Amino acid sequence: MESIASKLIATYLNRGVLLVSCSIMIGCATSEPLYYWGNYEELIYQMYIEPGAADSATQVAKLKEDINKASTAGKPVPPGLHAHLGYMYFLQSDTHAAVLEFEMEKKLFPESAKFVDGLMGRLKK
Amino acid sequence: MKPVNRNFKLLLPLLLVFTTGCVTTPPFDYSSFRNHRPRSILVLPPLNQTTDVNAPYTYLSTITRPLAECGYYVFPVAVVDAYMKENGLPSPEEMHGVALDKIRNIIGADAILYVTIEEWGQKYIVVQSITTIKAIARLIDTASGEVIWQGTQAVSQGSGGGADPIAMLITAAVTQIINTMVDYTHDLSRVANHTMVYDASQGFLAGPYLPPQENDHCRQN
């Protein structure tokens, strides 16, 4: 019995090694994504196509989770994510948090400066 | 008469070869793209020529990733959409009508991607159902007004098939049931946008956030 069990374990281990080597080979064929994508695009889909599935509170929670996961994975979040999160905070009337996110978008992607400054100008009115 | 006829028959395959030879597309002209090299791209909600009301925003929810992974700053599509709606532009038609210099001054985009959706959804051909997406896109430089890239994307996903007609009928029926629950266009839209940006000979040139590439195009991922 013991030998059968150990044979089984050995087979699974071999398969594990095989899977790992396969994924390494696949990893070499395509390059790594630049960003950690998480839920960002799925939330955009839901907010337009499945009304009610992604209210601002849900989006804030999921995007904050994505930001944490991205930092654990050592990857940047995609362009637009912090501005999108800022907009969700604005919808919840949390102007302070909104401004922090807009500032972060600008810091990570200077291309967003003009748009984000315009948005913040409106918040302060 | 007869010899002429025979000669013609011999010529026919040759003619076919020549006509198919002519269909190949000429190499894409990247000179305008290379001259302007945008850093940031604003994607406006697409114009919709189909009857599916979900088409523009499903498309919009799958365009950020390929462009950003190709190295561009992509403005947050939903925030821009909300901003424009709040500023008296309730529909994609009105958004597409805004002057380039106004968008450049207010949003600061180097280039705008204007998309028109021509086909979207399922067609039933005999016992098969085919999901098709067809979209035309133009990338315009906001400073010069030049078209720096353009392309048409048509992708289809078939269901059914097989030589056995009864098996085909069953497959088609099952697929129709599945299709009522699953939104195939969402996945297909992702494929269409990925293909549009990453096409090896007609796709986008790499943007500033992508490390230098061998052929100047985006890499596959």
Q: Which of A33, A40, A109 sits opposite B73 (nearest CB)?
A: A109
By the CB < 8 Å criterion, does B76 face chain A? yes
User: How many other C-beta atoms can be found within 10 angstroms of the C-beta atom of residue A14?
Assistant: 10
pTM listed for this prediction:
0.80
Residue B4 has pLDDT above 80, yes or no: no
**Residue ranges of E strands in chain B:** 40-43, 47-48, 73-74, 111-125, 128-141, 147-158
Residues A21 and A57 in one domain: no
List of chain A residues with pLDDT < 50: 1-29
Q: How far is A89 from chain B (nearest CA, A)?
A: 12
More confident of the two residues B219 and B217: B217
CA separation (Å) from B82 to A119, B41, B92? 11, 17, 12
Q: Is the pLDDT of residue B123 over 80?
A: no
Whether A119 sits inside 8 A of B62 (CB atoms) is: no
Mutate to test the interface with B, among A26, A30, A34 (most CBs of B within 10 A): A34
Picking from A85, A81, A44, A40, the residue whose alpha carbon sits closest to that of residue B58 is A44
ipTM, 2 decimals? 0.80
The pairing of strands B147-158 and B111-125 is unpaired
Q: What is the pLDDT of residue B80?
A: 98
CATH code, domain with A96? 1.25.40
DSSP code string of A86-112: HHHHHHTT-HHHHHHHHHHHHHH-GGG
A107 and A80, same domain (yes or no): yes
For residues A63 and A88, membership in a common domain is answered with yes
Mean of all residue pLDDT scores within chain B: 84
> Once rounded to an integer, what is the mean pLDDT over residues B104-122?
95
Specify whether A11 is located in the same domain as A67.
Answer: no
User: Closest to A112 (Cβ–Cβ): which among B61, B75, B78?
Assistant: B75
Pairwise CB contact (< 8 Å): B78 & A47:
yes
Q: Do A30 and B75 touch (CB under 8 A)?
A: no
Give the range of the structural domain holding residue A58, as residue numbers without chain letter: 35-124
**Same structural domain for residues A86 and A118?**
yes
The pLDDT-based confidence of B116 (bands split at 50, 70, 90) is very high
Whether residue A10 is found in the same domain as residue A53: no
| pLDDT, greater one: A40 or B22 | A40
Residue B113 has pLDDT above 90, yes or no: yes
Per-residue model confidence (pLDDT) at position A31: 76
Cβ–Cβ of B65/A30 closer than 8 Å?
Answer: no
- Do A56 and A115 belong together in one domain? yes
- Could you tell me if A2 and A51 lie in one domain? no
Per-residue model confidence (pLDDT) at position A112: 98
The alpha carbon of B94 is separated from its chain's Cα centroid by a whole number of angstroms, namely: 21
Through-space distance between the first and last CA atoms of chain A, rounded to whole angstroms? 77
In sequence order, the β-bridge partners of residue B121 are B132
User: Which structure tokens are listed for B82?
Assistant: 């909300």
Query: What is the structure's pLDDT at B121?
Result: 87
Closest CA to B205 of B220, B218, B192: B218
Across the interface, do B73 and A111 touch by the CB < 8 Å criterion? Answer: yes
DSSP assignment letter at B70: T
**What's the average model confidence in pLDDT over B164-183?**
57
Q: Quickly state the pLDDT bin for B129 (edges 50, 70, 90).
A: confident
For B211, which DSSP code?
P
Q: What is the DSSP letter of B205?
A: B
In this prediction, residue A17 carries a pLDDT of: 39
A16: helix, strand or coil? helix
Closest Cα to residue B179, out of B133, B119, B132, B129? B129
A54 and A107 together in one domain: yes
Instruction: Report the chain B residue with the minimal C-alpha distance to residue A118.
Output: B106
Q: Say if residue A64 is in the same domain as residue A113.
A: yes
On chain A, the residues whose CB falls within 8 A of the CB of B65 are 37, 41, 78
B18 has pLDDT over 70: no
- The chain B residue lying nearest A35, using CA atoms, is B69
More confident residue, B148 or A17: B148
**Cα A80 to Cα B109: distance, rounded to the nearest angstrom:** 13
Query: What domains are there in chain B, each with its CATH number?
Result: 28-198 (3.40.50.10610)
Can you give the pLDDT at residue B178?
54
A39 in the same domain as A25: no
B48 φ/ψ angles, rounded to the nearest 5 degrees: -120, 115
Does the pLDDT value for residue B158 go beyond 80?
A: no
Where b means 16+ CB within 10 Å and e means fewer, A42-65 reads bbbbbbbbeeeebebebbbebbee
Residues A78 and A95 placed together within one structural domain of the fold: yes
Chain B neighbors of A37, CB-CB under 8 A: 65
| Number of domains chain A is built from | 2
Residue B174 scores a pLDDT above 90: no
Nearest CB to A49: which of B54, B73, B106?
Answer: B54
